[in-house]
Structure 1
Amino acid sequence: MSGIDVPALVVLVLLFLLVTVMGFLATRWRRPSSMESLDEWGLGGRSFGTWVTWFLLGGDLYTAYTFVAVPAAMFALGSVSGFFAVPYTIVLYPIIFVFMARLWSVSHRHGYVTTADFVRGRFGSRGLSLAVAVTGFLATMPYIALQLVGIQAVLEVVGLGGGGNIIAKDAPLFIAFALLAAYTYSSGLRAPAVIAFVKDFLIYLVIIVAIVYLPTKVGGWGEVFSAAEQKMGTVNEATGKPTGAFIPGAAQHWAYATLGLGSALALFMYPHSVTASLSAKDRNTIRRNASILPAYSFVLGLLALLGWVAIAAGTKPIGLDGKPNAQLVIPQLFEDMFPSWFAGVAFAAIAIGALVPAAIMSIAAANTFTRNIYKEWLKPDASPAQEAKVSKVVSLVVKAFALVFVLLLDKQNAINFQLLGGIWILQTFPAVVLGLYTRWLHRWALLAGWAVGMVYGTLAAYNVVNPATGKHFGGSLANIPVIGELGYIAMTAFVLNLLVAVVGTLVLRATKSPEGRDETVAADYFADAGDPRVTKDLDTLNPSVETR
């Protein structure tokens, strides 16, 4: 790559400015009497209907890094590392159809903003609630950083990011960060909700054009699959093994299955997924979205195949530093194969695709800190207005940390920490999801299971060494104890977590150890919009907001 693609850059900048203006104007959309509460700033007034929630969840779950990393994995390593993302999103939606409506109802009934709020109310345990909150906060931080990595990949391909000084190299990323921080601070969750419409339109447009147009430029789908199969069968000199897997073999079945299932169980444990879900106006909105969100999985499948299109096209993802970088493969494919103006549209789709999830993630992390650390442990008498103010400030701090992470540290560190995030966040599943159905598991046993899963998962991930670089945290797969097959570390840690929780519960119940107070009742899990108990509770929690 040399020079700046001016037409592509102009289109990218214009579309970026468009969504920035929309972000600032979002504060006027469905304007409440006051934005000074987490209900309004952090959850959009819990008022989003089916289509707004669909765009918001789609923009939240299918991130810029997804659109960069999934085809990059297909390009570099094949189907086990890349295409598992498609079946996992298909498995995901029946799971959330079953439990997310219950979480919405009990959260709406009691004014819960985070999963840690629910755990605190359900099990009466501040310690378990803190564990869930800290896990969610830490798991989200590198995820935000990876959205900035997605923007950086686009800027690098378009020709920005070179030069020897900080202004030439990183000024565009600073500007993007500043704009994101400003409109998120002023508009809260309404900003990404509005921008998600533009983001999704651009993503669908680019993917449909790419999947129809690009294969014709490289000889058709037969040539695409042939080139991918040939590359995956080539021996990697660093490892002495095939480069990747065109079709997973018998030895890779456990890896493929556990990656898919573990990722499906983990995704809606992340704070940003829960935040987008709790912004829905009623429980049926959640169920309708679980039914129509698989449309994104179809697009993801097409996008993943673009990694193999890049193989057939002979795409060379070389960074401005002269080193190969598989994360650049899709932006580089678009740069090589599309007219400059449409390449700019594609770059804007990826960059805007980073803004939506980054905004939601920073809001979700800030809500978690405010509710479950600041208010629970530091200032129990904080008013709704004080909560909103702290959350706004923390959202800025979170984004600043992500920016520093991307600019000063090796990007591989961000990827490694995001890998850990997936392992960690799955360990909150027993307390949150099983807690929606039963209190049989003892709060102390759940905390012990969480600790075992966290320690095992972290150590197992650390012990995976990348054979090409010699670095730790080199992958997400390790041998499964007893079975001896290669599998997803998060799932092994999750099983250990459950075993400890069950055995611990049996011991604690036999010794009649005290249980915390459950502030919920059975009817809470079926509450819907308009429930008079909800109105009464929300008035008490947030008197500054008009009753809906």
Structure 2
Amino acid sequence: MDGVNVVELTIVIVLFLVVTVMGFVASRWRRAETLMHLDEWGLGGRSFGTWITWFLLGGDLYTAYTFVAVPALMFGAGAAGFFAVPYTVVIYPLVFLVVIRLWSVSHVRGFVTPADFVRARFDSPTMALLVALTGIVATMPYIALQLVGIEAILKAMGVEGELPLIVAFVILALYTYNSGLRAPALIAFVKDTLIYLTIIVAVIVIPVKLGGWDVIFGAAEEKFSAGTGAGVLLPGTGQWQYATLALGSALALFLYPHSITGVLAASNRDVLKRNMSALPVYSLALGFIALLGFMAIAAGVTPIGEDGNTVVPVLFQEMFPSWFAGIAFAAIGIGALVPAAIMSIAAANLFTRNIYKEFLRKDATPRQEAQVAKVTSLVVKVGAVAAILFIDPQFSIDLQLIGGVIILQTLPAVALGLYTRWLHRGALIAGWVAGMAAGLLMLYNIPRLAPDGTVLREHFGGSAFALSKLGLDAQSSVYAGFLALLVNLVVTVLATMALRAAKVDDGVDATAESDYTAEREDPTFRDLPDPLESAPPGTARGTTGEATGRR
């Protein structure tokens, strides 16, 4: 135990045990007759009210990686790291237009995943498979990145080795397997309470100890005045990158399967409307969290082993007594477990519904679906732990950039598909291929540079693509995912025009226009669990919810 802060470690362990017990007890919380149904295990019975949904989405979207990486980016890059705040402000009005329509059609038709919707809307198993694979691939590194937050607090407490990480994820896997989405929904209450407590205390106590906000910003300005390209204000050449990264990140966030899982678990449309209005409170908290990076500069924090993700844990250790630092570390650690659980459930739902049932066993019953999903969620967590153990963590962080680029390529089929079926199913596939190829090619050609301009790595060094590489006379860069999405949209529109001119069959729409505005009280809503136990996605349910077969 040499070098280990016993007080901090004890508090973290005690709070971790508390949420572990809650995770197992969650299987009896709002208990259904059985959890062996994806509606119950994977979506919590589709019954969460306003408060539960608010904590669940907040715990889902604002992850441990956010709470350590955003201040670390501010610490190293200055104003550029603040992009996370405007994008979480912009996102909710945009998402409001999409999620309530997705919620309605999914509840009427029994969709569990966005790929279910694409399968029924465009009559395209291929496009649905691409959406499912994209979601799974983009989610895996996101789960692994939650471990970065846990690693940061372990380093700060002096705990060495990977065993604590493995133990934490084994316990997480067990109570997720047992309780499904109810576990992270219940634990999210504890996680968010600890986070808000930590942030409120930090933004009051730390500035007072450091001499005020003028001292904090003055120290940051002094550090960045050395001409490294960073600064308290954005340079003119960084504004396009900042704006496109914020907008691209906003468009991507609710395309991730774990975000959609939280949305579909809501009990009605009004719950989502209230949440899209209230969730910006998290953005306010995120603004203060980002400023912890500047506080760390003023406090003279030195990261442990040059790991920038340890900036916030070290700052807390220097500013607070051990007992409160332990509470803050527990908040970060639990903040990793909640989204990791939701992400693994979302990935398992995608595999079960859109790969296993669609291509391997079409006659699978709800019980078999639930069992496959539970096992798959374990496999996903094992893969995430393997990624962090056997891959350079810095490379894992770079994978997050790739994840954002690739998940954006599902936007035409999922988000635009909720409003129009004009886009041809063949064109959607062509657009996905073009956007994915363009995005990965741009990421491959982005080097990682040191502050002095030295090339540290030739490829996959970030997400800022230089416009000069397109032959433009400009020093600015833009977010690679934003450009890739533009390529996707252009190809999709042009291919749609060509295929429709050639009168190529575009399949049958298995949804009705009324599905997209249905309320829970409407007779088209099906009972839970699904009475049509083996009905495939897109099959009509109930007596009045028949598919119209519209083109």
| CA-to-aligned-CA distance 1:282-311 (integer Å, 9 cap, x gap) | 011111100000000000000000000000
Aligned partners of 1:543, 1:253: CA distance in 2, in Å?
52
Aligned pair 1:363/2:352, yes or no?
no
1:412, CA displacement in angstroms?
A: 1.4
| CA-to-aligned-CA distance 1:295-328 (integer Å, 9 cap, x gap) | 000000000000000000000111xxxx311111
Partner amino acid, structure 2, of 1:253: Q
Question: Does structure 2 conserve the Cα–Cα contact (< 8 Å) formed by 1:215 and 1:221?
Answer: yes
Aligned pair 1:303/2:289, yes or no?
yes
| CA-to-aligned-CA distance 1:10-47 (integer Å, 9 cap, x gap) | 11111111001000000000110010010000000000
| CA-to-aligned-CA distance 1:172-192 (integer Å, 9 cap, x gap) | 111101110010000000000
Partner amino acid, structure 1, of 2:49: G
Aligned partners of 1:285, 1:18: CA distance in 2, in Å?
28
Partner amino acid, structure 2, of 1:43: L
Normalised by the length of structure 1, the TM-score is 0.94
Question: Does structure 2 conserve the Cα–Cα contact (< 8 Å) formed by 1:12 and 1:347?
Answer: yes
Judging changes above 3 Å, is the alpha-carbon distance between structure 1 residues 312 and 122 closer, same or farther for their aligned structure 2 residues? same
- Give the alignment partner of residue 521 of structure 1, picking from 512, 521, 533: 512
> Which range moves more in the overlay, 425-434 or 243-252?
243-252
Partner amino acid, structure 1, of 2:133: V
- Residue 78 of structure 1 is matched in structure 2 by 78
Aligned partners of 1:496, 1:269: CA distance in 2, in Å?
18
- Residue 164 of structure 2 is matched in structure 1 by 172
Partner amino acid, structure 1, of 2:86: P
1:233, CA displacement in angstroms?
A: 2.1
| CA-to-aligned-CA distance 1:143-186 (integer Å, 9 cap, x gap) | 0000011111111111101xxxxxxx122111101110010000
Judging changes above 3 Å, is the alpha-carbon distance between structure 1 residues 537 and 124 closer, same or farther for their aligned structure 2 residues? farther
Partner amino acid, structure 1, of 2:486: V
> Which range moves more in the overlay, 148-157 or 24-33?
148-157
1:527, CA displacement in angstroms?
A: 1.1
- Residue 437 of structure 1 is matched in structure 2 by 419
Aligned pair 1:530/2:544, yes or no?
no
- Residue 258 of structure 1 is matched in structure 2 by 244
- Residue 273 of structure 1 is matched in structure 2 by 259
- Give the alignment partner of residue 444 of structure 2, picking from 455, 462, 474: 462
Normalised by the length of structure 2, the TM-score is 0.94
Aligned partners of 1:503, 1:541: CA distance in 2, in Å?
39
Question: Does structure 2 conserve the Cα–Cα contact (< 8 Å) formed by 1:384 and 1:541?
Answer: no
**Equivalent residues in 2 for 1:20-99 (5 A)?**
20-80=20-80, 82-99=81-98
- Residue 489 of structure 1 is matched in structure 2 by 480
- Residue 182 of structure 1 is matched in structure 2 by 174
- Give the alignment partner of residue 402 of structure 2, picking from 420, 434, 438: 420
Question: Does structure 2 conserve the Cα–Cα contact (< 8 Å) formed by 1:111 and 1:537?
Answer: no
1:275, CA displacement in angstroms?
A: 0.2
1:543, CA displacement in angstroms?
A: 9.0
Partner amino acid, structure 1, of 2:403: G
Partner amino acid, structure 2, of 1:496: V
Aligned pair 1:388/2:358, yes or no?
no
- Give the alignment partner of residue 356 of structure 2, picking from 362, 369, 374: 374
Partner amino acid, structure 2, of 1:230: E
Partner amino acid, structure 2, of 1:23: G
SS in 2 for 1:478: strand
- Residue 492 of structure 2 is matched in structure 1 by 501
Partner amino acid, structure 1, of 2:353: R
- Give the alignment partner of residue 512 of structure 1, picking from 503, 513, 517: 503
SS in 2 for 1:149: helix
Aligned pair 1:478/2:470, yes or no?
no
Aligned partners of 2:391, 2:187: CA distance in 1, in Å?
29
Aligned partners of 2:2, 2:314: CA distance in 1, in Å?
12
Aligned partners of 1:269, 1:425: CA distance in 2, in Å?
7
- Residue 18 of structure 1 is matched in structure 2 by 18
1:531, CA displacement in angstroms?
A: 2.3
Question: Does structure 2 conserve the Cα–Cα contact (< 8 Å) formed by 1:48 and 1:281?
Answer: yes
> Which range moves more in the overlay, 420-429 or 403-412?
403-412
1:479, CA displacement in angstroms?
A: 2.5
Question: Does structure 1 conserve the Cα–Cα contact (< 8 Å) formed by 2:363 and 2:534?
Answer: no
Judging changes above 3 Å, is the alpha-carbon distance between structure 1 residues 520 and 543 closer, same or farther for their aligned structure 2 residues? closer
Judging changes above 3 Å, is the alpha-carbon distance between structure 1 residues 245 and 342 closer, same or farther for their aligned structure 2 residues? same
1:473, CA displacement in angstroms?
A: 1.0
Partner amino acid, structure 2, of 1:119: V
Question: Does structure 2 conserve the Cα–Cα contact (< 8 Å) formed by 1:111 and 1:541?
Answer: no
Partner amino acid, structure 1, of 2:116: D
Question: What count of residue pairs does the alignment treat as equivalent?
Answer: 527
Question: Does structure 1 conserve the Cα–Cα contact (< 8 Å) formed by 2:134 and 2:407?
Answer: yes
SS in 2 for 1:427: helix
| CA-to-aligned-CA distance 1:219-238 (integer Å, 9 cap, x gap) | 21101101111212224xxx
Question: Does structure 1 conserve the Cα–Cα contact (< 8 Å) formed by 2:405 and 2:439?
Answer: yes
Judging changes above 3 Å, is the alpha-carbon distance between structure 1 residues 303 and 441 closer, same or farther for their aligned structure 2 residues? same
Judging changes above 3 Å, is the alpha-carbon distance between structure 1 residues 536 and 362 closer, same or farther for their aligned structure 2 residues? closer
Question: Does structure 2 conserve the Cα–Cα contact (< 8 Å) formed by 1:461 and 1:489?
Answer: yes
Question: Does structure 2 conserve the Cα–Cα contact (< 8 Å) formed by 1:72 and 1:330?
Answer: yes
Identical positions, percent: 58
> Which range moves more in the overlay, 244-253 or 411-420?
244-253
1:542, CA displacement in angstroms?
A: 4.2
SS in 1 for 2:478: strand
- Residue 166 of structure 1 is matched in structure 2 by none
SS in 1 for 2:306: coil
| RMSD, aligned α-carbons | 1.6
- Give the alignment partner of residue 211 of structure 1, picking from 190, 203, 212: 203
Aligned partners of 1:191, 1:531: CA distance in 2, in Å?
30
- Give the alignment partner of residue 331 of structure 1, picking from 305, 310, 313: 313
| CA-to-aligned-CA distance 1:479-522 (integer Å, 9 cap, x gap) | 24476431000000001100000100111111011101100011
Judging changes above 3 Å, is the alpha-carbon distance between structure 1 residues 156 and 49 closer, same or farther for their aligned structure 2 residues? same
Aligned partners of 1:479, 1:117: CA distance in 2, in Å?
37
Question: Does structure 1 conserve the Cα–Cα contact (< 8 Å) formed by 2:144 and 2:385?
Answer: yes
SS in 2 for 1:441: coil
1:249, CA displacement in angstroms?
A: 2.2
- Give the alignment partner of residue 312 of structure 1, picking from 281, 298, 311: 298
SS in 2 for 1:332: helix
1:537, CA displacement in angstroms?
A: 8.8
- Residue 532 of structure 2 is matched in structure 1 by 541
